[in-house]
Structure formats: structure tokens, C-alpha cells
Amino acid sequence: MNNQLATTSGFNFATAMEHSTAISKSTIIPREFQGNPANCLIALELAYRIGAGVLATMQSLYIVHGKPSWSGQFIIGAINQTKRFSQLRFAFNGDKSECFAFAVDRDGNELKGPTVSIAMAKAEGWYANNKKWQTMTELMLMYRSGTFFGRVFCPDVLLGMKEEYEVIEADVTEIKDAKIPQTTKDILHDAAVGDGGEQQPETAPAAEPTPPKRTPKKKLQIKEKEVPLSEKKVALKDILTTKPDGLQEMAEKQPNRVALLARLQVGGYNEADFLKVANKNEWLGKGRTWDSLDQLNNDDMLALFLDPEEWETVQNQLEKSK
């Protein structure tokens, strides 16, 4: 494959579509692009815009919770590839709790990117939501500071896209802080599950309006409509049998479980689907069968399945189990 394909001839849609069709037949490109000319076309256009190789772009493009993102090492490499600056370098403070990326431009000016620190990671929720901040702190500081440098001094290289772990961390934080949508609260209230409503000022309780009388046929129609909606809105099977604030409690005690369930939701799967393939492949212990992740007292074990490479294996097994 000619990595200069999209950068030397200009981006022509018809020509690019022909190339995309040919590339999609390759077996050495990532699975998301095999047999998918449309995805290959997007990769070709991205490679053209940032002046990178097509294969390198495909290998470094991740779809996390439906959002495209770059790997940290690719962002640093793409910045260096622009030749606008000297090679990107990194500076740490004494105890290596802070890091910033810097380079020298063609006019000899030193450009310093924003400083990233462990304190910032904890304040933003990255440290708690992504175990790699705890196990590979120095590397994560470099990846994040490199990303911030690119966002400030060459945003056209990132094309507005985030680094892969930024997306993972942000989505887990959103799950923790999100309030249950009003439609879901109404469903939970109708099903007599928890409170489900916004907290009201402590005033004398007002009489609730009498709901319109509904015929048995109407109730049946509502039930058929509402139950799938609640599963689709919340998408956390176990939460629907507890108080609405159970999601917050689970996010605090089992962040990896919540992140895994959110990722399953994006693909249209649930916890039961995951446990089916996990038990079959003995991912959670040889000879063990799990009916619920409540039985698993080791949330750190689930962090393994959030790794991009391991998640690809999970996706393959889920698709085969359909």
C-alpha cells in the first residue's frame, strides 16, 4: 500500500472511492476497515488532511463510544511529521508530577504547551476513571501534554478530535454526573421503582392531580412502549431494579463496571450478553460461571476489557454469539 496515496495526488472523491474499495479488501488493515469502503474513505481523507500515511492513520484511529479519536503516540508523531517545529520534547518537574511539551519553531521561538499534572488529572476525574493514570503515570502525562500542545499550536493536525483516553475518561465522568432523563424518571415512577423525580423545596405537599383514566388496552400499549424505552435510556440492566441513585453509587464503587456497561450499550449489548461470552471463554476464571457482575468483587479485573485491543476481542465474541 502506497502511504503517500492520498497526499501526493490531491483528494479527489471519485479516485479516493476507487482506492477505498481496493483498500477495503486488504486483510492487514484494522477490522473496522475490512470490507468497509466508506470507513476507508474517511481514513483516506483524514490521512490527506494531516499528511500522514493511510495505514498509519487506520491503525491509530479509534472509535470509542461511537466517537473517533487518535492514539496518543500518533498525535505526537503527527505533530513531528508537520516539520513546523523541532521534535516535540517533554519537561517534568522534580517529582515528575507535572509535565509540559515544548518545541522550537522555524523562527527559533520556543513554544511551550499547557502543563498537565497529576493534580489536574485527579481534579478532572481522569485519574479515577482510567487506571492507566495510576499504573503508567509518566507516559499518560506525556500523551496528554503532547495532545494539549497540538491543540494549541497545530489544531489542524488533530482536526478537533480527542486522544482516545480523553474520550474514555470523559464518557465515564458523564455517566457518573448525569441525571436520569425525565422520560426515564417517569417510567421508573410508573413502575414504582425508587423516587425518580427532581428534589423539590421543602414545602407543604400539594395534592397530586388525578391521572386520566386509562383503558386496559391503553395501559397495555404504554407498557409495550415504555419497558424497552427504559432499557434503551438507562441501558444498565441491574440499575432498573434499584433506586435511581444506584447509578451514582455504582460509578463510585465500580467505575470499570460502569464504563464496561456504557461501552456495551453503544454496541446494543448488555451485561447478560457480556457474561455469556465471558463464561464461555473463561475470561473471569477457569471453570467459573457468573450470573451477574455483582458476584465479582474485583472491579480492577474489568479494566482489562476496556483496553482498545482487548475490547476488539470482546466485540468479535459478542458478534459471534448473536
- pLDDT digit string (tens) for 28-78? 998 889 999 888 888 888 888 877 888 888 888 877 666 778 888 888 988
Same domain membership, residue 125 and residue 102: yes
Q: Cβ–Cβ contacts within 10 Å for residue 81, how many?
A: 15
Pair 48, 119 in one domain? no
Nearest-10 Cα torsion for 230, 232, 236, 238: 40
Asked if residues 64 and 168 have their Cβ atoms less than 8 Å apart, the reply is yes
Do residues 39 and 95 both lie within one domain?
no
Residue 230 lies in a domain: yes
Q: State which of 24, 39, 64 marks the end of a domain.
A: 64
Residue with cell 490527506: 48
Q: Which helix (H) or strand (E) holds 188?
A: helix 182-190
Same-domain status, 31 and 105: no
Instruction: Report helix, strand and coil shares of the chain as percent, to nearest 5.
Output: 60, 10, 35
Is 15 part of a structural domain of the chain?
A: yes
- What domain count does the chain have? 4
Question: What residue numbers bound the domain in which 259 lies?
Answer: 254-322
Query: 118-145: buried (b, 16+ CB within 10 Å) or exposed (e) per residue?
Result: bebbeebbbbbbbbbbeeebeebbbbbb
DSSP 102: E
Would strands 110-112 and 98-104 be described as parallel, antiparallel, or unpaired? antiparallel
Query: What is the reported pLDDT for 229?
Result: 33
Residue whose entry in the numeric block shows the C-alpha cell 521534535:
87
Considering the domain architecture, whether residues 109 and 139 belong to the same structural domain is answered as yes
CB 197 within 8 A of CB 185: yes
Answer whether residue 142 is part of any domain. yes
CA 117 to the chain's CA centroid: 22
Mean pLDDT lowest among 150-159, 165-174, 303-312: 165-174
Contact 97, 123 (CB under 8 A): no
Average pLDDT score over the chain: 74
- Other C-beta atoms closer than 10 Å to the C-beta of 193 total 18
Q: Does a structural domain hold residue 203?
A: no
- Separation of alpha carbons 143 and 146, rounded Å: 5
On whether both 219 and 288 belong to a single domain, the answer is no
Tell me: do 81 and 25 sit in the same domain: no
88 located within any domain:
yes
Return the ∠ at Cα 89 (arms to 84 and 95), rounded to 5°.
155
- Residue 175, pLDDT > 50, answer no
Say what the pLDDT of residue 7 is: 40
Q: Is residue 69 part of a domain?
A: no
CB 299 within 8 Å of CB 255: yes
Q: In the prediction, which pLDDT does 43 show?
A: 86
pLDDT band, very low/low/confident/very high, at 262 (cuts 50, 70, 90): confident
User: Considering only 22-26, 27-31, 112-116, 266-270, which range has the smallest mean pLDDT?
Assistant: 266-270
Torsion angles phi and psi, residue 99, rounded to 5: -150, 145
Cβ atoms of 303 and 297 closer than 8 Å:
no
Residue 84 and residue 144 in one domain: yes
- Domain-embedded: residue 31: yes
Q: Are residues 258 and 314 in the same domain?
A: yes
DSSP 147-167: HHHHHHH-HHHHTTPEEHHHH
Give the pLDDT confidence of 288-299 residue by residue, as tens digits. Answer: 888 888 887 777
Question: What string of DSSP letters covers 268-301?
Answer: T--HHHHHHHHHHHTTTSTT---S-GGG---GGG
Q: Do 185 and 145 share a structural domain?
A: no
From 64, 91, 109, give the residue that closes a domain.
64
Q: Is 232 in the same domain as 262?
A: no
pLDDT tops 50 at residue 191: no
Per-residue confidence band for 241, with pLDDT thresholds at 50, 70 and 90: very low
Question: In which band, very low, low, confident or very high, does the pLDDT at 227 lie, cut at 50, 70 and 90?
Answer: very low
CA dist 167 and 57 (Å) reads 18
Q: How confident is the model at residue 242 (pLDDT cuts 50, 70, 90)?
A: very low
Q: Are 240 and 312 members of one domain?
A: no
91 assigned to some structural domain = yes
Amino acid of residue 87? Q
Task: For residue 120, name the pLDDT band (cuts at 50, 70, 90).
Answer: very high
Taken in order 199, 201, 205, 207, is the CA torsion positive or negative? Answer: negative
Confidence of residue 204 (pLDDT cuts 50, 70, 90): low
Task: Kindly tell me the sign of the dihedral angle through the C-alpha atoms of 27, 31, 33, 36.
Answer: positive
Contact 52, 78 (CB under 8 A): yes
Do strands 116-117 and 89-92 pair parallel, antiparallel, or not at all (unpaired)? unpaired
